[in-house]
Amino acid sequence: MIAVGAAGAAFGANPSKLPGSLKFWDGVIYSEQDQITKKEISDSIDPVTGKSTKEFNIKSGQLSKDGSLEIDDKKNEKTIEFNMDGKELRLKFHYVLKSNKNIVLPNSEEGYQLSPIPNSDQYLIEYNGSLYQLDIKNSKITKVLSDQVDAFEYTTLKNKKVEDLPLAWGERPYYSPNGDYLIYYSNRNAVKNGGGNGQLWVKNFKNNNEKAVYDGGFEFAGWGESSQVFIRDNNKLVEINLEDSSNKVIQDNVALETLVVYPFVIAPELGNINITDMKTNETHSINEGVGRADMLLADPSGSHIAIKNYPDPNSFDTNILVLDDLKNAASFKKISPDDGYVIDSFSWVDSENLLVVVIKKGTIEQSSYLVNINELK
């Protein structure tokens, strides 16, 4: 077991660190493939078989009682068989036990994407253009979406070929926080019109109804009250009511990184970050030290926002701005990396601790730090 730094270690003060890239996921911290490991796996590919001889050993960890970060190799492994389109397939999963729940760890090598299902010990799998439910305890994988909805049929879509257009029955899923709604992208309408823009679909678990609620591609921005979801469509921020399928444009000319933490819209632009309260229509701005915002992430409670910031938009140097009072845009803290490093990514462990990944300049060497935002100045 390896331990890293007390949770209060300050960035820039030689904090304890772990090599590689660490992320927080569904209650545990895990190691993802860092740049060095990816290169080693790529270099180990046998030119005859096309398979790599090096495997990635995923690790997991958690915060200990004294606030340090503990990482170890202990994990369980399970291979589950399921039927997909008449064929028996097998997928491998790694999982750890925490608080009487089997936490399944992301595994990019298997080609699936995982999402925790709210208020449940199960997971949503995005795999091969459709969505499945994983019950790791009982070793079951089942379909989430119906094979036929109105005039659309799953088998027809799978047999359809459109040049240069991958067809998906369901992908890019997002569960509402209460678990009542599942939104996802589908371009099943290409069977009829041959187009590729696709649609935003919703599955309502209160009545098991599935329907398209918005035409065109989208990027998820956040959830609102009750049945409202916010998306970005090109440069527009759009609110959609998942019950009656109505929609309205909330803001024009918003950046791709725009985030909604209801009732606030956090909209970055070059040299500025605007925070709008949708209930009062009041807008506050941050501009001091802001260059180009590249990544916005809310903590689990929605009370803090971490923003990856390039103070000089023409430089690779980065820092993190932490907003801890969305009603007062002047209130924020800053995390700066040590000299010779740039911030690569970050993830919230809880509402106090941010797990930060940095890259040493001129290399592909990554390290991970734990930062307690309450101890930042």
- The stretches in the chain having pLDDT less than 70 are 1-16, 33-34, 37-38, 41, 51, 53-57, 62-73, 194-196, 329-331
Cβ atoms of 2 and 368 within 8 Å: the answer is no
- In angstroms, rounded to a whole number, what is the distance separating the alpha carbons of residues 228 and 241? 5
Q: What is the pLDDT of residues 298-330, one digit of tens each?
A: 999 898 999 999 999 999 999 999 998 888 766
Residue matched to tokens 């208020």: 119
- In angstroms, rounded to a whole number, what is the distance separating the alpha carbons of residues 197 and 216? 5
Q: Note the pLDDT of residue 321.
A: 95
Q: Note the pLDDT of residue 377.
A: 74
Distances in Å between the alpha carbon of 39 and those of 45, 52, 246, 365? 10, 11, 47, 11
- In angstroms, rounded to a whole number, what is the distance separating the alpha carbons of residues 129 and 116? 18
Q: Note the pLDDT of residue 3.
A: 37
The alpha carbon of 323 is separated from its chain's Cα centroid by a whole number of angstroms, namely: 20
Q: Note the pLDDT of residue 17.
A: 76
Cβ atoms of 240 and 200 within 8 Å: the answer is yes
Q: Note the pLDDT of residue 238.
A: 97
- In angstroms, rounded to a whole number, what is the distance separating the alpha carbons of residues 288 and 323? 13
Written in H, E and C, the secondary structure of the chain is CEEECCCCCCCCCCCCCEECEEEEECCEEEEECCHHHHHHHHHCECCCCCCECCCCCCCEEEECCCCCEEEECCCEEEEEEEEECCEEEEEEEEEEEECCEEEEECCHHHCCEEEECCCCCCEEEEECCEEEEEECCCCEEEECCCCEECCEEHHHHHHCCCCCCCCCCCEEEEECCCCCEEEEEECCCHHHHCCCCCEEEEEECCCCEEEEEEECCCEEEEECCCCEEEEEECCEEEEEECCCCCEEEEECCCCCCCEEECCEEEEEECCEEEEEECCCCEEEEECCCCCEEEEEEECCCCCCEEEEEECCCCCCCCEEEEECCCCCCCCEEEECCCCCEEEEEEEECCCCEEEEEEEECCCCCEEEEEEEHHHCC
Q: What is the pLDDT of residues 323-377, one digit of tens each?
A: 988 887 666 899 999 999 999 999 999 999 999 999 999 998 999 988 999 888 7
Residue matched to tokens 């890019």: 172
Q: Note the pLDDT of residue 159.
A: 85
Nearest CA-CA partner of 266 in 235, 292, 297: 297
Q: Note the pLDDT of residue 2.
A: 34
